[in-house]
Amino acid sequence: VSQTTAAPDWLVQGEIGLCPCGCIGKRSRGSFVDKTLKGGAGVMRQAMFGEETSAEAGLLQRLDARVKLVTVLGLLVTAALVRHLQVLVVLYGVTLVLAAASRLKLSFFVKRIWLFIPIFTGLVVLPATLNVVTRGHIVVPLGSWWFGHRVGMTSQGLVAAGIIVTRVAVSISLVVLLTLTTPWNRLMAGLRALFVPRMFIQVLAMAYRYIFYLLAAVEDMFTARKARMVGIEGDTRGGRAFVTASAGALFGKAHALSEEVHLAMLSRGYTGAALTLESFRVGVVELAWTVTCVVLAVVVLGVDRALGH
């Protein structure tokens, strides 16, 4: 191979961190450009996935958005008031049944929650199981290295960790059930049932719409940056300058868009008054669902109180 036809070294070298298994080259934490692009794609994917699942013919999809919003909030409060691990586990079972009845893939539904919880909640509450944080009866002794004191996991600490992890799982499951079974425009209209002022709902709806428009602008900027990059991003300071300048430019774009939208609104006769979707339908299904939720809440809280304080 002659010198003139040889590829330059930087092109031949395997780019570090390109392989998802991470077995070639050095471990790379991924640049901020990749992470932001990935985050944007995640937002897009999640929104589109929600649109898809909310169009299925499942149990929760059939309910009126207002009824669903209010009852799910009620179930959230119920889950928040429960004081026993066993009851929370049963409630988690109920969310699984609801997910199955709403034709959500159970494996996905379980994964979505249990991939997130061990990392965030689990790690955070782990030290709280020790007697150093939560006093009580030591059930798993771990030696005596804390200034000469005995250290171990307490029964109180373990139960508390179990309660918080399960409670977070139940709460997230309920919210995921709500968002995956309700089209976003219906969900926003449903907020009227919670006495949210129309002006807020209008801003919320427009903001939701703009997010995807502006997300495309962010993706363009970051993809352009990535297209011009050779190798990995190493310059933290330069990277920060790029991110902040992009954020500044994004505001300029957003503002120009808001002016255009405002003019478009005026040209269509906008007077400042907001209207929202108000078709309220309460049929047998909604009634049956509401009664079931109320009975469930009463039974759950009753059993919980019966188990003692």
Partner 1 sequence: VHIPDGYLSPETCGVLGAAMVPAWSAAGRRVRKTVKHRHVPLLAIGAAYAFLVMMLNVPIPDGTTAHAVGAVLIAVILGPWAAVIAVSIALAIQALFFGDGGVLSFGANAFNMAFVMPMVGYYLVYRPLSQRLSLTSPRRAFAAALGGYVGIVAAAACCGIELGLQPALFHRADGTPLYAPYHLAPALSAMLLAHLTLAGGVEFALTFGVIAYLQRANLPMLRINHGAVPETDDDLTRSPVRLKWWYALTPIVAMALASPLGLIYNTGAFGEDNVKTNRNRFLQKNHLAAVPRGLDHYANFWHHALFNGYDFAHDKHPVLGYLLSAFVGAMVISVVLLAVFGVIRLARRTLRPVGA
Whether residue 114 contacts residue 169, with contact meaning beta carbons closer than 8 Å, is answered with yes
Amino acid at 297: A
The nearer residue to partner 1, 1 or 273, going by C-beta atoms, is 273
The nearer residue to partner 1, 77 or 97, going by C-beta atoms, is 77
Counting every residue written for the chain, the total comes to 309
Minimum gap (Å) between residue 145 Cβ and partner 1: 18
Minimum gap (Å) between residue 207 Cβ and partner 1: 4
Minimum gap (Å) between residue 77 Cβ and partner 1: 5
The nearer residue to partner 1, 178 or 286, going by C-beta atoms, is 178
Minimum gap (Å) between residue 28 Cβ and partner 1: 8
The nearer residue to partner 1, 84 or 286, going by C-beta atoms, is 84
- How far CA 282 is from CA of 63, 66, 68, 198, in Å, comes to 9, 9, 11, 21
Whether residue 162 contacts residue 134, with contact meaning beta carbons closer than 8 Å, is answered with no
> What is the DSSP secondary-structure string of 88-155?
HHHHHHHHHHHHHHTT--HHHHHHHHHTTHIIIIIHHHGGGGBTTTS-S-EEEE--S-BTTB--EEEH
Residue among 186, 169, 179, 182 nearest 95 (CA): 169
Minimum gap (Å) between residue 284 Cβ and partner 1: 27
SS3 state at 56: coil
Minimum gap (Å) between residue 3 Cβ and partner 1: 35
Structural tokens at position 246: 């992009």
The nearer residue to partner 1, 98 or 164, going by C-beta atoms, is 164
